[in-house]
Amino acid sequence: MTEKIRHVLGLSGGKDSSALAVYMRDRVPEMEYFFSDTGKELPETYDFLDRLEAFLGKPIVRLNMDRDSTKNRDFDHWLTPYGGLLPSSQVRWCTINLKIRPFEEYIGEDKAYHYIAIRADEQDRIGYKPPKISGLHNIEPKYPFKEDGITKADVYSILEESGVGMPDYYKWRTRSGCYFCFFQRKSEWVGLLEQHPDLFELAKAYEKPNPNAKTDELFTWCQGESLEELSRPERIEQIKANTEKAMTAKKAAKPNRTLLEILTDVHDDEDDEEPCLACHK
């Protein structure tokens, strides 16, 4: 008997993985789609996933979340055993516990091809490299965009031509992920404050003194700056002015580009640290 091989594609709520889902829908009809829900996603992300699900014609499995909310293994579930330590680029416990571990549990011991949305213009990036948590060697990564020469411009075209379009949060944010993701740039935090002040306040509530510190050190989302400090009117004005100045310069250098392309360049200049692939693709 031939061993059954599962075909799985993880969605982050971002443009690349969504475009890959659209691209692979008819190429691999048996594809399984999943989303590792942290419980702290933007409303725009959930709305976009519903739109994408309708296009794909099959459900997107939501990992971590249970109909019985007491069994959820979301962000708050994991924050307690870490003693309130907020994740950071140095300590990415959220990626391990909310993305990689649930994915490997979802696959189990099955043989699976894992389709990853790394584009042809990102040849230096790599995706999931098994084994991570389970120690099994049953998951093989696949890179259709790399193999077929699909670039960022093609991703935009795939989403627009399919009618799925772009997630609405791209009007002010150029990466997917939790609303309090530590990889957000300063201007994106300002965007969260203006677009979702309630979520900004919830994010701010997570910032608390480090109980193990001998000083007044805070657990903060932004290195060296609390959200209380960032939300002061004079600081917001400074961040906005810097972003507007950078966007004007980028537009002048290459005038025939979309606002999203310009904003992406500005954000990349502000912070070129690579985010977690499972959250931001």
Cα gap 279→247, rounded to integer Å: 26
pLDDT in tens, 8-45: 999 999 999 999 999 999 999 999 999 999 999 999 99
Q: How crowded is residue 151: how many other Cβ atoms within 10 Å of its Cβ?
A: 13
Highest average pLDDT, of 75-89, 148-162, 167-181, 198-212, comes from: 148-162
pLDDT of residue 47: 96
pLDDT tier at 146, thresholds 50, 70, 90: very high
pLDDT tier at 262, thresholds 50, 70, 90: confident
pTM for this prediction: 0.87
Reading the block at residue 106, the tokens are 């979802």
% of the chain at pLDDT higher than 70: 86
pLDDT of residue 260: 75
Between 272 and 73, the more confident residue is 73
Domains of the chain: 5-170 (3.40.50.620), 186-280 (no CATH)
Q: How crowded is residue 281: how many other Cβ atoms within 10 Å of its Cβ?
A: 26
Highest average pLDDT, of 127-131, 192-196, 248-252, comes from: 192-196
Reading the block at residue 179, the tokens are 């609303």
pLDDT in tens, 99-145: 999 999 999 999 999 999 999 988 676 655 555 555 668 999 999 99
